[in-house]
């Protein structure tokens, strides 16, 4: 899944409408335009006068996000025509696909000659520049807002039967599924404009220099293999697969490997279609969560706000990874104070939601919260999924639904 998708990418796909892709494909931006956009972005990053108050700071953060999206709105989705089939590493990949999976060599080599190098994917996969403080409130306000809530309301109403069936089958509440699909793609509106074969090939064989380059190259090479297997299994042209800059596909933004592992034919038509079938998307999200630790028996709050003691002994509890591994008595001994008594037979993790210059929020979270982080390894992401789903549910309740 877009499990490693950057904040910048989220901004891009949340802000750019899916229509208009045809025009962009016919008229890709020139290098001069891209350079001009980058220059404008650099200029926009010049020091600004200090802003007072949390609301003003959040407004400034939102404005900066819009400016960032505008600066990269000339992004080249089409890429550059090069002959990947001449690369030694690609030739070895073709050899492996022929031997391991029985692909036709001539056909696969022909496909590799059609693949494009996408510099935009190389740039977008790079980590965000260091130094900018995290801000949960600014992040949350991008997702818990009227457009997404109203779209979620329509999605829930139109797919109520499939959501209820998924909840009954997997034990994942409808609101969590609704929250994930809403955060990911605004219910299918923004599923990505890159040809998956282009971006995966680019990142598999031309990943940018980074400490984790070797590992990421291996990952994307495997996902390229999975994309070709998926296309063959579903009998579709692999070049018709469109997705994010990192190769995530469909309404729930699954990587090809996760479609093969966790995708569900929830509408029973004999195909797993996360692009066109809302039922398949719903069932697949629920199945993914269960396979990554969702516990249907844990029906309590997924996260509970807490206070923390001034002695800061609890700081050591923040380094436990994305898992619930702490007993309530361990939390209390370290100075974590919950507003209600936590069940002694449950495990929790301590979560910090940083708010820039404002006070950090602290929460204790259960296994189900951390199951959501397996979808995207971020506390911000998991909390926004929970909050968006809750907001849509509450809106439905006001309408008697």
Q: Hunting for tokens 């195909």 — which residue is that?
A: 271
- Report the distance separating Cα 180 and Cα 172, nearest Å: 12
Instruction: Confirm whether 184 is a catalytic residue.
Output: yes
- Report the distance separating Cα 54 and Cα 67, nearest Å: 20
- Report the distance separating Cα 123 and Cα 131, nearest Å: 19
Three-state secondary-structure class, residue 196: helix
DSSP 217-243: HHHHHHHHHHHHHHHHHHT--GGG-EE
- Report the distance separating Cα 198 and Cα 78, nearest Å: 8
Per annotation, catalytic residue among 119, 141, 167, 184: 184
* CA dihedral over 201, 202, 207, 212, signed as positive or negative: negative
Three-state secondary-structure class, residue 312: coil
Q: Kind of pairing, strands 349-355 and 336-337?
A: unpaired
Q: Hunting for tokens 């090809």 — which residue is that?
A: 256
- The number of angstroms, rounded, from the C-alpha of 262 to the middle of its chain's C-alpha atoms is 16
**Number of neighbouring beta carbons within 10 Å of residue 335:** 17
- The number of angstroms, rounded, from the C-alpha of 220 to the middle of its chain's C-alpha atoms is 16
Q: What is the DSSP letter of 300?
A: S
- Report the distance separating Cα 343 and Cα 260, nearest Å: 37
- Report the distance separating Cα 90 and Cα 79, nearest Å: 18
Maximum separation of any 2 CA atoms in the chain, in Å: 67
- Would you name the residues annotated as active-site residues? 184
């Amino acid at each position: 899944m877009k499990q490693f998708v950057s904040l910048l990418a989220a901004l891009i796909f949340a802000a750019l409408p899916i229509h208009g892709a045809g025009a962009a494909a016919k008229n890709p931006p020139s290098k001069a335009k891209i350079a001009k956009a980058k220059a404008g972005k650099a200029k926009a990053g010049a020091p600004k006068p200090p802003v007072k108050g949390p609301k003003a700071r959040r407004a400034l953060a939102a404005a900066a996000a819009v400016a960032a999206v505008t600066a990269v709105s000339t992004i080249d989705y089409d890429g550059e025509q090069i002959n990947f089939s001449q690369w030694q590493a690609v030739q070895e990949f073709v050899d492996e696909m022929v031997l391991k999976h029985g692909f036709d060599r001539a056909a696969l080599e022909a496909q590799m000659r059609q693949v494009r190098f996408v510099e935009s994917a190389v740039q977008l996969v790079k980590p965000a520049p260091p130094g900018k403080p995290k801000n949960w409130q600014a992040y949350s306000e991008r997702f818990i807002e009227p457009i997404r809530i109203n779209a979620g309301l329509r999605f829930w109403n139109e797919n109520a039967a499939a959501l209820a069936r998924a909840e009954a089958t997997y034990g994942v509440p409808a609101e969590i599924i609704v929250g994930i699909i809403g955060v990911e793609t605004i219910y299918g509106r923004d599923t990505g404009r890159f040809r998956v074969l282009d971006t995966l090939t680019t990142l598999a064989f031309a990943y940018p220099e980074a400490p984790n380059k070797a590992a990421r190259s291996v990952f994307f090479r495997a996902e390229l293999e999975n994309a070709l297997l998926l296309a063959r299994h579903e009998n579709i042209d692999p070049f018709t697969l469109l997705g994010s800059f990192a190769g995530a596909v469909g309404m729930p933004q699954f990587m090809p490997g996760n479609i093969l592992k966790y995708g569900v034919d929830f509408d029973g038509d004999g195909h797993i279609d996360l692009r066109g079938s809302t039922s398949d998307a719903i069932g697949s999200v629920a199945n993914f969560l269960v396979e990554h630790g969702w516990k249907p028996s844990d029906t309590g709050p997924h996260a509970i706000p807490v206070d923390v003691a001034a002695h800061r002994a609890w700081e050591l509890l923040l380094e436990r990874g994305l898992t619930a591994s702490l007993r309530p008595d361990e939390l209390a001994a370290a100075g974590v104070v919950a507003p209600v008594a936590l069940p002694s037979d449950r495990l929790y993790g301590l979560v910090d939601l940083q708010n820039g210059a404002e006070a950090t929020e602290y929460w204790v979270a259960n296994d189900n919260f951390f199951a959501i982080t397996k979808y995207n390894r971020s506390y911000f992401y998991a909390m926004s999924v929970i909050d968006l789903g809750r907001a849509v549910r509450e809106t439905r309740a006001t309408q008697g639904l």
